[in-house]
């Protein structure tokens, strides 16, 4: 099996879109030290084309994280994938996640992967987007919760 | 008698005004902004290194408590509550250090120096480096801050090694998906239990 890193990979009429976010956040904490959380989140959407439409049949979440901390571990959470219209209105939240085998590099504190196989069909020229949100916080630190998301544009061009 | 009461009320109004004005000045600040302000004020005060809490194997100084309390006060706690939370946090931290030492975790000065040097680099490259740099600058001289970190990490790195291994053990046993809210709750329960046991074993007493 090949592990492909390009943003859009096409095989016959099946393809995949991918979004990756890497971040490192640091927190000064009351014990006098500095805690940190470095993470890498990858969100993918697999789809196949049929006429003017694309059927999105599978989406995956991959993540790795490393921490430094003493008495309070920073909390890193990833959420569900949400499909939204271009104006931000929610279309659907994908909350059923199943096991997915994954291969990860060594030297990470935490890693995981999961998949959702609910189907969604959109026009090829849709302006809809998929979002995978994440957050990082650290108890005792004065810095606010850090939030972000990996985003995929679900349109693939066409009329 | 009436004059004394009037003067007393007058003083109370002035004091309330001063406190109110202080609260008003702080009201518009973020917790980090408040931290910077409180930290800069604390730099002007003399620091007592007197031991105020003693455990079986560790000691907590007044300076440590005051430094830690700034974090909680900056988040809106009263000075009294901030001191209490700082004591609780430091008891856990020192108890973990005691546990780690008993289990054989150690560091060398060279190891700490290398670690702090790498940490300084991480701080400068982190995605939120700007907001953290502002907080570090509030300690005064930045180079002195990093020199001080070498002292802090002679203890903290021992704790970090221990808690890192605790996380590895926990993750090996955890059967659900990692990095979800459920996982974070389960970790908190596990880690809080370890900290509580460690604090109990240390039998802290106020000096």
CA distance B46 to B190: 39
* Structural domain span for residue A30: 13-153
A92 falls within a domain: yes
Mean pLDDT across B108-113: 98
What pLDDT, on a 0 to 100 scale, did the predictor assign at position A133? 96
Query: Is A109 a member of any domain?
Result: yes
Q: Which residues from chain A sit within 8 angstroms of residue B152, using beta carbons?
A: 32-33
Give a yes or no: residue A39 inside a domain: yes
Flag whether A6 is in a domain: no
Model pLDDT, residue A151: 97
* Residue of B64, B69, B126 with shortest CB distance to A25: B126
A7 domain residue, yes or no: no
Among A30, A64, A144, most B C-beta atoms within 10 A, so best to mutate, is A30
pLDDT tens track for B2-32: 445 454 454 444 444 444 444 444 567 899 9
Residue B169: per-residue pLDDT: 94
Q: Do A24 and B152 touch (CB under 8 A)?
A: no
Whether A16 and A54 have beta carbons less than 8 Å apart is answered as: no
Domain annotation covers residue A158: no
Closest residue to B32, CB basis, from A36, A71, A143: A143
**Would you say residue A90 lies in a domain?**
yes
Decide: B168 and A109 in contact? Cβ < 8 Å: yes
Q: Mean of the pLDDT values across residues B194-206? A: 97
Total domains in the fold of chain A: 1
CATH number, domain of A123, equals 2.60.40
Tell me whether residue A8 is in a domain: no
């Amino acid at each position: 099996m090949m592990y492909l890193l390009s943003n859009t990979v096409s095989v016959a009429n099946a393809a995949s879109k991918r979004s990756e976010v890497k971040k490192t956040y640091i927190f000064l904490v009351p014990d006098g030290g500095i805690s940190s959380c470095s993470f890498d989140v990858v969100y993918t959407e697999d789809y196949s084309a049929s006429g003017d439409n694309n059927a999105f049949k599978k989406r995956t979440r991959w993540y790795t994280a490393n921490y430094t901390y003493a008495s309070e571990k920073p909390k890193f959470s990833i959420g569900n994938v949400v499909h939204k219209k271009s104006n931000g209105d929610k279309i659907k939240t994908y909350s059923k996640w199943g096991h997915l085998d994954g291969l990860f590099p060594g030297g990470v504190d935490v890693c995981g992967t999961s998949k959702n196989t609910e189907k969604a069909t959109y026009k090829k020229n849709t302006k809809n987007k998929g979002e995978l949100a994440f957050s990082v916080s650290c108890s005792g630190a004065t810095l606010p919760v850090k939030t972000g998301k990996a985003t995929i544009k679900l349109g693939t061009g066409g009329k | 008698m009436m004059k004394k009461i009037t003067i007393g009320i007058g003083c109370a109004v002035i004091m309330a005004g001063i406190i109110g004005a202080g609260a008003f000045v702080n009201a518009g600040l973020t917790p980090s902004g408040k931290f910077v302000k409180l930290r800069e004020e604390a730099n002007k005060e003399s620091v007592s290194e007197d031991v105020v809490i003693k455990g079986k194997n560790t000691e907590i100084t007044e300076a440590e408590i005051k430094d830690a309390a700034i974090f909680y006060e900056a988040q809106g706690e009263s000075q009294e509550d901030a001191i209490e939370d700082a004591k609780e946090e430091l008891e856990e931290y020192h108890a973990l250090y005691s546990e780690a030492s008993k289990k054989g975790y150690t560091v060398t000065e060279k190891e700490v120096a290398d670690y702090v040097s790498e940490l300084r680099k991480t701080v400068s490259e982190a995605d939120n480096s700007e907001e953290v740099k502002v907080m570090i600058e509030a300690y005064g001289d930045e180079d002195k801050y990093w020199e001080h970190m070498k002292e802090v990490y002679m203890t903290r790195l021992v704790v970090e090694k221990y808690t890192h291994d605790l996380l590895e053990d926990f993750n090996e046993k955890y059967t659900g998906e990692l990095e979800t809210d459920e996982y974070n709750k389960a970790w908190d329960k596990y880690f809080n239990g370890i900290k509580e046991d460690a604090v109990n074993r240390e039998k802290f007493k106020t000096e």
